[in-house]
């Protein structure tokens, strides 16, 4: 049996059941919870001691190693070897993709909610970042939809769907895995967009959309200039934040999709700038269909609704 087949089978296995010493009960530890704990340890300690973590979580060392392989395959961690403690632990470098764990639930809700306001757009630009990846994850395919993106993860995600995907090409920023530079801009210049859906490192009424690097800001800026409509998707931690590279003014935005943690005073200023502000929330059960909560639960497990 191949490693990938074993990993796929592990996703279907029931969660491990470590004992609870306080009352003798047994509680499930799901794969996503184990992996979140692994990444938390990596971020804090830059190392994982497999036997100790296996004992703590009440699972086998093989289960922890399988979780690490899955995280490595998905691009969250990279294993490195060597050093005096190599026989006790494997140390890791946390890739930029681990940022997907920050405000993960909010980003999933934002991504799902944003797909509902795409409307009749047939040619989309989808920006970079983990919130944009959540949007792409839940974007319905089919028809004659074309998605142009600078993000290699988004191009890979959509590449197996019934969607025409165009990746800009050009130089790749290692951390973000986004395409930048003159080649990417030349490709971008051959398109016009019904809609641009972009993330932001920061968004404020005064400074508008801002990004972390000049290269990324240049790509986003060029896409906005070619778009009839602009939707910004950003979790609450980005609202009111300003970073160094300006993409465009706030009044260029048609709709902002964010979450309830966004500061109210900044949202009021953005509304005064003419932006339609949508706050994504988990929805309760309705009588005419399945709950959005079900979709959120599936999203939290890494699946699709």
Structure confidence by residue, pLDDT tens digits, 122-179? 999 999 988 999 899 899 877 799 999 999 999 998 988 889 999 999 999 876 789 9
Q: What's the pLDDT band for 34 if we cut at 50, 70, 90?
A: confident
Residue 62 in 3-state DSSP? helix
Q: Which fold has domain 102-300?
A: Rossmann fold (3.40.50)
Q: Same CATH topology for 3-100 and 102-300? A: no
Quick check: 299 and 291 in contact, CB under 8 A?
no
- 90-94 and 47-48 as β-strands: parallel, antiparallel, unpaired? antiparallel
Tell me the pLDDT tens digit for each residue of 277-286.
Answer: 999 987 654 4
Supply the pTM of this predicted model.
Answer: 0.65
CA gap 224, 195 in Å, rounded: 9
- φ, ψ of residue 83 in degrees (nearest 5): 95, 165
The class that CATH gives domain 3-100 is: mainly alpha
Tell me the pLDDT tens digit for each residue of 96-114.
Answer: 455 555 567 888 899 999 9
Q: Could you tell me the two tokens for 249?
A: 């003014």
Mean pLDDT score of the chain, rounded to an integer?
79
- Summarize the confidence of residues 256-284 as an average pLDDT: 93
Domain ranges of the chain: 3-100, 102-300
Q: Could you tell me the two tokens for 245?
A: 């590279």
């Amino acid at each position: 049996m191949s490693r990938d087949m074993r990993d796929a089978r592990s996703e279907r296995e029931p969660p491990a059941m470590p004992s609870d010493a306080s009352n003798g009960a047994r509680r499930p530890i799901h794969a996503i919870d184990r992996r979140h704990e692994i990444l938390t340890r990596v971020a804090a300690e830059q190392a994982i001691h497999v036997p100790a973590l296996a004992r703590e979580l009440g699972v086998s060392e093989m289960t922890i190693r399988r979780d690490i392989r899955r995280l490595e395959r998905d691009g969250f961690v990279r294993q490195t070897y060597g050093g005096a403690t190599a026989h006790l632990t494997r140390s890791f470098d946390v890739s930029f993709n681990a940022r997907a764990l920050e405000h993960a639930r909010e980003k999933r809700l934002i991504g799902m909610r944003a797909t509902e306001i795409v409307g009749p757009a047939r040619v989309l630009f989808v920006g970079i970042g983990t919130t944009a990846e959540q949007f792409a994850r839940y974007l319905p395919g089919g028809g004659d939809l074309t998605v142009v993106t600078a993000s290699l993860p988004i191009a890979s995600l959509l590449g197996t769907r019934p969607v025409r995907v165009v990746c800009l090409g050009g130089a790749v920023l290692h951390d973000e895995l986004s395409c930048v530079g003159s080649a990417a801009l030349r490709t971008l210049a051959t398109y016009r967009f019904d809609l641009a859906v972009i993330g932001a490192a920061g968004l404020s009424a005064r400074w508008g959309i801002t990004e972390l690097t000049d290269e990324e800001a240049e790509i986003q800026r060029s896409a906005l200039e070619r778009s009839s409509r602009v939707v910004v998707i950003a979790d609450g931690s980005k609202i009111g934040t300003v970073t160094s590279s300006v993409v465009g003014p706030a009044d260029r935005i048609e709709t902002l999709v964010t979450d309830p943690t966004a500061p109210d005073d900044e949202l009021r200023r953005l509304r005064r700038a003419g932006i339609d502000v949508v706050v994504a929330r988990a929805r309760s059960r309705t009588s005419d269909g399945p709950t959005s909560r079900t979709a959120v639960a599936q999203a939290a497990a890494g699946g699709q609704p």
